[in-house]
Amino acid sequence: GAGVSQSPSNKVTEKGKDVELRCDPISGHTALYWYRQSLGQGLEFLIYFQGNSAPDKSGLPSDRFSAERTGGSVSTLTIQRTQQEDSAVYLCASSLAGTGGAFFGQGTRLTVV
Amino acid sequence: GENVEQHPSTLSVQEGDSAVIKCTYSDSASNYFPWYKQELGKRPQLIIDIRSNVGEKKDQRIAVTLNKTAKHFSLHITETQPEDSAVYFCAASIREAGNMLTFGGGTRLMVKP
């Protein structure tokens, strides 16, 4: 596609439910990031995938968060037993190996009620 | 791992004045330094980047400088306009570490007409 695509754009869920957020990176981009951004705040790193290497999960805030990347393309971020503090915009970005520059999707705004 | 610090956190300038945002990084192996602009409610967008083999890069009203010895890099915006108002993020990455970007905390720039 033309850019990084994320779905859904908005998600409202009840506390305690599980949610899945999807990211379609730019075709051919081997690196993929997930970030979380609360209102008016910076970019909180969650997880980084690069090619076939083991992902860097050092930013995941708790074991309720997990992510996978199937076939080196689409990625899903799963949040189990959602809490109100999980409410934020979740941003995905991808980049071409060796170039460094990352391109962001439009984000998924998650609201836990 | 890499640590990127960004200053100031907020910056207010008069239209037409210049704005300078500074970042420092911790890992001397970092070799790629992009800058992102995030307008309210939108995704971060890459506006300029610099690699470690050059000291300065310009694109119209924006420029980035890099001092590898001091491990800092700066974004310069000249002749600021109200549409420059946004949050700016710097980042650094290391090719040998898979090019994973580490972001600074962001600078909220306000250009007063």
Q: Is the pLDDT of residue B52 over 90?
A: no
CA distance B50 to B58: 10
Looking at residue B111, its pLDDT comes to 98
**For the segment A65-85, what is each residue's pLDDT rounded down to a tens digit?**
999 998 879 999 999 999 999
Residues in A lying within 8 Å of B, measured between beta carbons: 31, 33, 41-43, 45, 48, 50, 53, 56, 58, 91, 93, 95, 97-107
Q: What is the pLDDT of residues B87-112, one digit of tens each?
A: 999 999 887 666 788 999 999 999 99
The pLDDT of residue A34: 96
Q: What is the mean pLDDT of chain A?
A: 93
Q: Above 60 in pLDDT, residue A52?
A: yes
pLDDT tens per residue, range B2-28: 899 999 999 999 999 999 999 999 999
Pick the residue with more confidence: A28 or B64?
B64
Work out whether strand A108-112 and strand A10-13 pair parallel, antiparallel, or are unpaired.
Answer: parallel
Q: Looking at CA atoms only, how far is residue A6 from chain B in angstroms? A: 11
pLDDT of A98 reads 61
Tell me: pLDDT of A62 over 70.
Answer: yes
Query: Please, which residues have CB within 8 angstroms of residue A97's CB and are 6 or more apart in sequence?
Result: A29, A30, A31, A50, A51, B99
- Tell me the chain A residues in contact with residue B42 when contact means C-beta distances shorter than 8 Å: 106
Q: Cβ contact (<8 Å) for B106 and A43?
A: yes
State how far Cα B109 lies from the chain centre.
12
Question: How many angstroms away from the CA of A18 is the closest CA of chain B?
Answer: 25
Give chain B as a DSSP string. ---EEEE-SEEEEETTS-EEEEEEES-TT--EEEEEEE-TTS--EEEEEEETT-SEEEETTEEEEEETTTTEEEEEE-S--GGG-EEEEEEEB-GGGTT--EE---EEEEEE-
- pLDDT at site A1: 52
Does residue A103 surpass a pLDDT of 60?
yes
Chain A contact probe: residue of B99, B103, B107, B109 with most A CBs at under 10 A: B99
Low-confidence winner among A36-40, B35-39, B71-75 (lowest mean pLDDT): A36-40
Model pLDDT, residue A99: 67
Distances (CA, A) of B109 to B18, B37, B42, B76, B86: 11, 10, 15, 12, 5
**Cβ contact A43–B103 (<8 Å):** yes
Q: Looking at beta carbons, which residues of chain A come within 8 Å of B93?
A: 100
